Structure 1
Amino acid sequence: MACAHAADAPPAPGPATACEDCLRTGGQWVHLRRCLTCDHVGCCDSSPHRHATAHAGATAHPVVASAEPREHWAWCYPDSALLLPASQL
């Protein structure tokens, strides 16, 4: 599914190593997500604090991408849409 929010988003710059918010609070993460609006790295919804979703809600930044190695997908919060590269469709 295409979404207008992803059209303006730059490609994700690649893997990340830590959730910025978990580092500040001493939390732990499961997987990492990168905001395509401001490059904030937060933890996924399987993590205890769900920082990526919290960031999207607080900022209205619509699209996150996986910041995990070898994962190439994004999620649009407003459209509840999984966004895959054309090569994976």
Structure 2
Amino acid sequence: MTVPVDVDPHLVFVRSGVTPHTPEGCEECLRTGSPWVHLRLCLTCGHVGCCDSSPNRHARHHAGLVGHPIVRSFEPGETWRWCYVDEAFA
């Protein structure tokens, strides 16, 4: 089976009905008291991490550490997804 060029092959990691672990903010920043700018939700496991504009970039760190490549914005009114492997919208 071939995957169309415009479809991210990492979308197989996306699970439906993912529940955010910490809907109130970035999981690691909440533990350490660090600030964040925007939040991202891991669409594989529900980890909530801070974006690349935040000081600690926890969403990217999570993706690299555990191999969950696709996140979506966890900001109100935003539904876009990002693939950290391809550095592109998914």
CA–CA distance in 2 between the matches of 1:44 and 1:28? Answer: 11
1:18–1:26 distance in 2 versus 1, CA, 3 Å: same
CA–CA distance in 2 between the matches of 1:10 and 1:39? Answer: 9
TM-score for both structures, normalised by structure 2: 0.81
Give the letter aligned to residue 47 of structure 1: S
Match of 1:9? 14
> 5+ residue gaps in structure 2?
1-5
Aligned length: 83
Give the letter aligned to residue 14 of structure 2: A
Distance apart, 1:78 and its partner CA? 1.2
CA–CA distance in 1 between the matches of 2:78 and 2:85? Answer: 21
Match of 2:69? 62
Give the fraction of aligned pairs with identical amino acids, expressed as a percent. Answer: 55
Distance apart, 1:12 and its partner CA? 6.9
Rg (Cα) greater in structure: 2
Distance apart, 1:79 and its partner CA? 1.5
CA–CA distance in 2 between the matches of 1:60 and 1:11? Answer: 18
> 5+ residue gaps in structure 1?
84-89
- RMSD between superposed Cα atoms in Å: 1.9
Give the letter aligned to residue 76 of structure 2: P
> Structure 2 residue aligned with 1:25, among 26, 29, 32?
32
TM-score for both structures, normalised by structure 1: 0.82
